[in-house]
Structure 1
Amino acid sequence: MTTPSVRTITRKYTTVSYCSIFTVWGREKMSRLPPEKIEEVKQAIHDQLNREGIEAKVEEAVAALLEENGDDVEPENDLPQRRRHFAPHESIVDELVQSLQMTSHFPIRHDRAPEVPITTAKVTQALTVGLSVRVLRGKAFVDQLAAEDNSLCSTFTLYLYFRGQRFKSKPVPCSCDPPFDETFLFDFPPSVTLLRDLLGVSEPLHVVVIKTDALGQRELIGSHHVEWRRALASSTNQFAMATEIHGVGAQAGIACGILEILFKIVPCMGARLKDDVVTAQVSLEQGRSAEQQRLFFAYAKQWWREYLQCRPAHASRLVKVFAQDETGRSRLVCSFLTPLVGGRLIESPRAAARFVSLIEYERTPTVGGDSKPELWASMGAFLSKGAGNCEDHAVLLCSLLLGFGLDAYVCIGTKSKGTAHAWVATIGHSGIVTFWESLTGHRYTHQRPELGEPTIRSNDIPYRTVGCVFSHEAFYANCQPTDALVSCNFDLTDAACWKEMNPGAIESACAALRQPSFPTLSRSTLDPAVASHKLEQELKTLAAEHRSVLGLTSHWNDQLSYYLAPALSSYELEQSTGVSVGNDEFQQAVRRAVPSGHTFKAFPIQFIHANSRRIFATAMQSTTCKEIVECNGDQVDLAIRASVVVYPEAIQAVWIMFACTYRSII
């Protein structure tokens, strides 16, 4: 038998061998990490693999092994032997992990018990099969041609979702042909070991394209689901394709650009499926999905006719059964929900409400007309963009509350002024209903009126009517004599008050969509202490410059600035828990710090971003803040305190307090 050259085998198998070894080596440690850290570690691995020098070291190791063992090393046909030969070269992997902990954009925290050292025996365990997705380049993003002059500081970022795993690319400059060139590795379950197992994985790859401008504002450019299983029909288990990325909203059917993607199964299976087998499987699934959706639509039409027969006035109620996502697909609203576990990133329902309320609210843009568009973003697109409408916020909050084991539902109805709105309700065992406003984090209690008792008063509740409520597995339409919220009975088991959809039909409709698994939340990498100090110094500089223009000097009282910190902490705690604590200590400290005969003024304000210029410009629109910054008197001391509180998904609550003490010259 003719032995291939060392260079040929090295080039052919370096990437596959390295990915295989590191997947086994890393899984042992990652199995001891909390679930929310696994995706961070994988993102860090991806970033480090792209650094110069790692591949060269692996090539040297492969070449040395081939030279030492000759014909004994057959990477494609003998996986156990390959793992055994690579065991002595774990130092390469060790070096990589050390560098990950030092330089990774997603640092690994060592807050767990000491780990058991990895042994050679563990490396010989079964390999995990993965899907390698390499984005080669972007093309034909023609909408950027007209905006290119104004987008010199704007960037494109790719977000990829697959089977609950998520990655994001490095930002690249916006252009007609954005220079994407990155590789991402997604894991399959350990039970997936054969090609026929992979063929049965029907979930597509979800690709989201986000544009970020110079001010940090993000825009959803495209969202697309990509079928990857054509790679199973290649002898090398790989397949390259040019994928059109469709726009969103009104442009859902129009391609906004093209991504050239290379799919590859690692390690190589050494076998292939026939093209017609893969095509037949995909066609069968699409046909079954279309038939299930057709049957559900027929059921929904009949269900709606029965609902209207109960009372003609039902036709005017807000009963939302279907909604379009950003890709233009019409989906049952229940399919937007799923129990979402935040792990240790979010540890209480009220913390979840605070987190969701900090995500930027943005009305769905329209082109012409003032009508409200029917567009609900998928969870992946919403988290990628970091902004959305009230329905997007309510869906995320309800999913998190479901994850905490609460009986939670999204409510569709109207606000006190008659405008359509969505919020969340949780129902307790005693019948008490709690409403959660996802845009503010506020909670309201609704007592169910008992038979014979007068209608309850809910003047503090900002909602007027409710047309329907739904969760991930149930849908109820309000069929009570009136849809007014104050007199509404929320006993969903009462068929005289609520018309229920068949749970089996809902389950079938949700399964037919073949949508990607919901992504997990990602931990913020921002250091709150560093970010707070940086923002505080920037605001001091801006305030001093503003005073200098007015001919005023600036004297900063650092001690007074520190005394402001408990107040900001108290404000955030009150927003998160509804409990106000710490104000007494703050007031005592200020009274002791302000000299006799001096006046103290303070102005607190909260933001969801840390852009110092935007913060200063907004704060100066307040008369109180303007008086503080432009204070002119005797013995004027100025103080600014900034507090940045971080949440998952790079969401942050930024609290600022401007303060001064002075002796009036009047």
Structure 2
Amino acid sequence: MTLPPEKASELKQIIHNHLTRMDIHGKIRDVLAETVRQELGTGHRPLSEEDFLRALQHRGIVDEVMRDLHFSQDIPATEASLSLKPATHFVDNEMTQLKKTNIDPARRCLYLQVLGGKAFLEHLQEPEPLPGQVCSTFTLYLNFRNQRFRSKPVPCACDPDLLEGFLLEVHKDSLGDGSRMVDATNMLSISDPVHMVLIKTDTSSETTLVSSYFLDWRSVLSAPNGKTSMAIELLGVGSECKVPVGVLNVKLELYPPLTETLTPDVIMTQQSLERQRTAEKERLFLVYAKQWWREFLEIRPSNQTKLVKIFAQDENGVNRPVCSYVRSLRAGRLLDTPRQAARFVSLLGMERAPVVGGGAKQEQWCSLLAFLCRNKGDCEDHATLLCSLLLGFGLDAYVCVGTKAKATPHAWVMTLGTDGSVTFWESLTAHRYLHRPIDPDAPPLAPSPSPQLCVFDLRDGSRWKAMSEEALRSVCAPGSTTSLPPLPALCASHLDPAATANQLELELRHLVAEHRKDLGLATVWDEQLSYLLSAALAAYELERCAGVSCGNEEFQDAVRRAVPDGHTFKGFPIHFTHRNARRAFATSLRSPFCDEIACCRGDHVRLAVRVRVFEYPESACAVWIMFACKYRLVL
């Protein structure tokens, strides 16, 4: 692998500073002096470079350098651009000061340090985890102007040990301004907040959205030394959006420091003007939306019962126009086709917003960052993400709201083809359905309303009442209001699919062997048969992803060759979106087909299991498992 020249020089500078901090030169001088005394003092030949390196390795100095030098990064999949490069997050063991070697001196950076959490009272009685013990953890996620970061997970506690540093690049988006050093005035006009999302992961790997917070970082512009500290009160989400969950101590630092700072009054005035402008736009849109709704209801009596969504609450209880949840989103090189995008979205978990005390469903349309960080959400979250990705792929895509069986509210995606075709996409399963309209006046009459009766010619004003594009742009276009959360880019998976599959397979083999041992049965594995199962699993994922079935003929032929005459082959494939071997095995055993394989009795019984893990963005994954056996029937 070849590094670009600028990255190579940056890496050299980092290593140089790390070696200086370790006083590596002093250690080398000591080793040199000792080696010279030992070797030359005995009359041996002159020391060579190999002798010197061997002495360094013998004393553990090389190992010490490599052990202490760590890098971690979370790079969004943005497309290459001269004016915008992804920020890199360097994690350093010492959190007391900013490492200047990590910074491009030609660009302005904001160093955001999290110096610990306080008063997370829900975890007041949380016991101290023992070394090696699995416990619930907090992970902090950040998004700032297309730069995403993730902290190291820390044990949940009343005062969680969240100590992390994030290096954020501050730049203007205008063409040609990306590489210039922004001054205080230009930074004051950058109203994009730092979106901070706190996620709790329990011992079974289930995630919970704890808080979603938008930090206005611009108070640092008035700090005399370019540094300021603050305590951020995090609030809950959903029905608990007014309840504090804890406090994060945060320190902000600009580098290079500003030569001329702004006064606090100037910053407060700018923020006040932005809030007033946003409030006025939202007020005017609300007035327009009310007028549009009155006109819609007057068109025909049946409109009174139609499900129409104009506003939806996000995780913080803020009412936002539904159009603001959908924006064209390009996945860079992480996704290649619209159907692959649908497969990715379907792998994210489905979970309705929790309701304290039961009752009706709580509707909650999460911001995209909160949805991606939690890796699960409601059907509306899936639909808005899929629609955004399909728009990025150049399709004419829309989110539809309606009801399923038993009048259950639901959301899905629709695309309109240039040939007039209409396709519905179920974002929870990646299934696609071609719309086949029927004549509403033809007998027998179908129940109304029904999608089959709909005519999806959205340009027909006699059938569809459109909203003003200008009104929608005023509150939904990127940058139109300061209350609109920035859209994050997708991040590549941090999983190693081969290593993950191998580990899962080893755990499943152990579970199968233990299960058979309890039944008094021996377990003999057939390695070749296990390997042959890979072809079938790859074909299953390809069919789910692209809708194309191929490769089964070769798999069936290989199995016929691997199973001798007079023997029987049984196979059971199953699909998961998690990586917990015990859960997967327990679920599989509920099927009588898998139970027959795991408890197989007969002559010359040979068992096989194969796992394939297919990675997708945001560490979503499709886990395919096949259990199989071959044996000779005994009459």
Change (3 A) 1:54 1:330: farther
The one of 228, 240, 249 equivalent to 1:251 is 240
- Corresponding position of 1:89: none
Hey, what's the Cα distance between the residues in 1 that align with 2:205 and 2:359?
27
Task: Give aligned pairs, total.
Answer: 556
What do the CA deviations read for 1:594-619 (whole angstroms, capped 9, x no partner)?
A: 11111111110000111111111111
Hey, what's the Cα distance between the residues in 1 that align with 2:527 and 2:450?
54
Instruction: Describe the SS at the equivalent of 2:152.
Output: coil
Deviation of 1:54 after TM superposition, in Å, equals 6.6
Alignment gaps of 5+ in structure 1: 1-24, 31-40, 61-94, 109-122, 458-463, 465-481
Deviation of 1:56 after TM superposition, in Å, equals 2.4
- Corresponding position of 2:335: 346
What do the CA deviations read for 1:354-399 (whole angstroms, capped 9, x no partner)?
A: 0000111111111123311121110000000001010000011111
What do the CA deviations read for 1:223-253 (whole angstroms, capped 9, x no partner)?
A: 1111111100111222211011110001111
- Corresponding position of 1:172: 154
| AA aligned opposite 1:491 | D
Deviation of 1:311 after TM superposition, in Å, equals 1.7
TM-score of the two chains, using structure 1 as the length reference: 0.78
| AA aligned opposite 1:523 | A
- Corresponding position of 1:160: 142
- Corresponding position of 1:586: 555
Instruction: Tell whether the 8 Å contact from 1:447 to 1:456 is kept in structure 2 after alignment.
Output: no
Find out whether 1:182 has 2:148 as its counterpart.
Answer: no
The one of 604, 619, 631 equivalent to 2:600 is 631
Hey, what's the Cα distance between the residues in 1 that align with 2:626 and 2:345?
23
- Corresponding position of 1:644: 613
Instruction: Describe the SS at the equivalent of 2:114.
Output: strand
**Identity fraction in percent:** 48
Instruction: Tell whether the 8 Å contact from 2:105 to 2:256 is kept in structure 1 after alignment.
Output: no
Instruction: Describe the SS at the equivalent of 2:407.
Output: coil
Instruction: Tell whether the 8 Å contact from 2:141 to 2:198 is kept in structure 1 after alignment.
Output: yes
Hey, what's the Cα distance between the residues in 2 that align with 1:267 and 1:99?
29
Hey, what's the Cα distance between the residues in 2 that align with 1:423 and 1:456?
25
Instruction: Describe the SS at the equivalent of 2:274.
Output: helix
Instruction: Tell whether the 8 Å contact from 1:448 to 1:490 is kept in structure 2 after alignment.
Output: no
What do the CA deviations read for 1:238-276 (whole angstroms, capped 9, x no partner)?
A: 221101111000111111110111112211112210110
Hey, what's the Cα distance between the residues in 2 that align with 1:402 and 1:375?
23
| AA aligned opposite 1:158 | L
- Corresponding position of 2:514: 545
Q: Which runs of 4+ in 1 moved over 3 A?
A: 25-30, 51-55, 57-60, 102-108, 123-126, 146-152, 447-457
- Corresponding position of 1:598: 567
Hey, what's the Cα distance between the residues in 2 that align with 1:55 and 1:242?
34
- Corresponding position of 2:110: 131
Hey, what's the Cα distance between the residues in 2 that align with 1:303 and 1:141?
45
Instruction: Describe the SS at the equivalent of 1:261.
Output: strand
Deviation of 1:312 after TM superposition, in Å, equals 2.5
Instruction: Tell whether the 8 Å contact from 1:357 to 1:393 is kept in structure 2 after alignment.
Output: yes
Find out whether 1:506 has 2:451 as its counterpart.
Answer: no
Deviation of 1:182 after TM superposition, in Å, equals 1.2
| AA aligned opposite 1:139 | K
Instruction: Tell whether the 8 Å contact from 1:203 to 1:515 is kept in structure 2 after alignment.
Output: no
- Corresponding position of 1:33: none
Instruction: Tell whether the 8 Å contact from 2:106 to 2:181 is kept in structure 1 after alignment.
Output: no
| AA aligned opposite 1:504 | E
The one of 184, 190, 207 equivalent to 1:218 is 207
Deviation of 1:292 after TM superposition, in Å, equals 1.0
Find out whether 1:490 has 2:456 as its counterpart.
Answer: yes
Hey, what's the Cα distance between the residues in 2 that align with 1:291 and 1:306?
23
Change (3 A) 1:641 1:297: same
What do the CA deviations read for 1:2-39 (whole angstroms, capped 9, x no partner)?
A: xxxxxxxxxxxxxxxxxxxxxxx999459xxxxxxxxx
Hey, what's the Cα distance between the residues in 1 that align with 2:128 and 2:466?
54
Deviation of 1:155 after TM superposition, in Å, equals 0.7
What do the CA deviations read for 1:35-89 (whole angstroms, capped 9, x no partner)?
A: xxxxxx9xx99xx99x9947827999xxxxxxxxxxxxxxxxxxxxxxxxxxxxx
Alignment gaps of 5+ in structure 2: 26-61, 76-101, 172-177
- Corresponding position of 1:260: 249
The one of 120, 125, 128 equivalent to 1:141 is 120
Change (3 A) 1:59 1:167: farther
Q: How does 1:107-506 map to 2 (within 5 A)?
A: 127-146=106-125, 148=127, 153-189=135-171, 190=178, 191=180, 193-448=182-437, 482-506=448-472
What do the CA deviations read for 1:109-166 (whole angstroms, capped 9, x no partner)?
A: xxxxxxxxxxxxxx99971111111111111111112555899611100001111211
Deviation of 1:538 after TM superposition, in Å, equals 1.1
Instruction: Tell whether the 8 Å contact from 2:74 to 2:148 is kept in structure 1 after alignment.
Output: no
- Root-mean-square deviation (CA), in Å? 3.2
The one of 612, 628, 633 equivalent to 1:659 is 628
Hey, what's the Cα distance between the residues in 2 that align with 1:359 and 1:338?
19
Deviation of 1:514 after TM superposition, in Å, equals 3.1
Instruction: Describe the SS at the equivalent of 1:498.
Output: coil
Hey, what's the Cα distance between the residues in 1 that align with 2:5 and 2:259?
23
| AA aligned opposite 1:598 | H
TM-score of the two chains, using structure 2 as the length reference: 0.82
